[in-house]
Amino acid sequence: MKRQMALSLICAGSALALLIRTPVKAIAGRPEKDKIVQISSDGFTWRVDLHPLGYPARNPQLQWRRGLDQFSTVDFVSDRVLAATFVTQENVAEVQQRDDPNRIRPYRLHAIFLDTASGKILKSLEWPTDDPYTGIFSRYNGSFVFFSAERVVLYASDWQSKKELPLPQLTAPHSYPAGIADSPSGKVLVVRYHQDRSIQCIQLQTDTLRVSEGPCTIPEEFTVSDDAMAAWDRGLDRTENGRVGPHIGHSIEPYEIDRSSGIESQKPRLLIHKLGQPIRTFCDSCAGRPQFLNNDFIIVPSFSGFAVFNNFGVEKFSVKSPPNGSWIDTGAKAISSSANGDKFVVAFNESVLSSNVSTRFGGSQGDIPATFADRVEIYDLETERQVYNLKINKKRVKEIWGFALSPTGGKLAVDSGGVIQVYALPLQTVN
């Protein structure tokens, strides 16, 4: 009961939805009469503060170390249940043997499961880990997968573990994970890791934890569908000590070297790979982290907008940001989709010309979806139209640490750094 009272659940109904004309690019042959629902960040259905539940105050570096460009801090495990996760650091007072099964792990992943209709706490789980690089991945039917560098565990919708798979290859000498992604449906999870001087990939079927593993040459910033992988090839990769360096074992094309600076560089491009087929260039002028919306479509953000392509590289539609200087962080996980990809949400940052951004702009780019949050926009894939625009109130939501759409696209959850807000979305475009 005390934990429930600490929830600080705040109901909101004071904000009224406004109907405005969509600002997106007009689609040829369609009248520009569709309207979207716009609302401010004060118009949430409910709001939960995780700090009374253990969320670390004033320690963003600990959460960044999770790899927030790869793990979501908030996700729907079903239309009825939302999971919010965060990491805490444990007090380890004495030297311990790493092979001691009873030793105290230095980190702990916390998952708070909330009712999507009310925000009521349904369940909380914790996992001790050796590394903050950890999180959960939803299967969107109530079940989910817990991941750490030591193991993967499959949980059923009753929060009971069903199967566990150790991952000793990730913690072996000179081995470390360097990229992870799940498919929009939640059926496939791919872990990319370095082992000595080679790159390996583990592909997991999340319903059984059945695994296939072998060498792979896909770059670090990648996305997966149920049967394919795509990646943004920038010619850079993370090394064992966390610094960025050239790809190891990547041999699609040689890199061009700027002899004056000694820095390797390559024209950014998008690569796609299906099992049993060679890697091919999907887009030779794309410069952003791609993401599968479903098995048939990929979205590629740019600094000023995004484009949606089919698997053959044919553009379905694109959107440019209004000329107010707002932008998408192409190095962050700035896009999320519903389980079937029918709807997707994009996070925009405010103009770099604003004094707030210009004074704060620095190494935080790529850590969270929107460091200088301006708005989030939701689009309908079939109609190629924007259906929802959430304008950020800086007093309410300064940053977007994580966000997610419910499996059927009816709700939006936003994590502003330990404070979770949920919004009800329109079922269809308002005419």
Per-residue pLDDT of the chain (431 residues; tens, 9 = 90+): 333 433 443 343 333 232 222 333 333 333 344 678 888 899 999 999 999 999 998 888 899 889 888 999 999 999 999 999 999 998 876 655 656 666 677 899 999 999 999 999 999 999 999 999 999 999 999 999 999 999 999 999 999 999 999 999 998 998 989 899 999 999 999 999 998 888 889 999 999 999 999 888 777 788 999 988 888 776 656 655 555 444 443 332 222 222 233 333 345 567 777 665 667 777 777 777 889 999 999 999 988 899 999 888 889 999 997 777 889 988 889 999 999 999 999 999 998 776 565 555 444 445 799 999 999 999 999 999 999 999 999 888 989 999 999 999 999 999 999 999 999 987 654 44
Q: How many domains does the chain have?
A: 1
Q: Answer whether residue 430 is part of any domain.
A: no
Q: Answer whether residue 66 is part of any domain.
A: yes
Return the pLDDT at 311: 82
Return the pLDDT at 60: 87
Decide: 363 and 399 in contact? Cβ < 8 Å. Answer: no
Distance separating alpha carbons of residues 63 and 71, to the nearest angstrom: 10
Return the pLDDT at 331: 82
Structural domain of 48:
2-93+102-424
Amino acid letter, residue 15: A
Return the pLDDT at 79: 96
Return the pLDDT at 185: 95
* Sheet (strand 269-274) strand order: 221-224, 228-233, 269-274, 280-283
Q: Answer whether residue 429 is part of any domain.
A: no
User: How far does the chain reach from its first CA to its final CA, in angstroms?
Assistant: 45
Task: Look up residue 224 and give its two tokens.
Answer: 């997966």
Q: Answer whether residue 216 is part of any domain.
A: yes
Return the pLDDT at 360: 52
Q: Answer whether residue 307 is part of any domain.
A: yes
What CATH code is carried by the domain that includes residue 191?
2.130.10.10
Q: Answer whether residue 431 is part of any domain.
A: no
DSSP 250: -
> Which residues make beta-bridge pairs with 199?
194
Return the pLDDT at 26: 33
Q: Answer whether residue 346 is part of any domain.
A: yes
Nearest alpha-carbon partner for 146 in 219, 85, 65: 85
Nearest alpha-carbon partner for 124 in 113, 132, 135: 113
Nearest alpha-carbon partner for 238 in 219, 256, 259, 264: 219
Q: Answer whether residue 198 is part of any domain.
A: yes
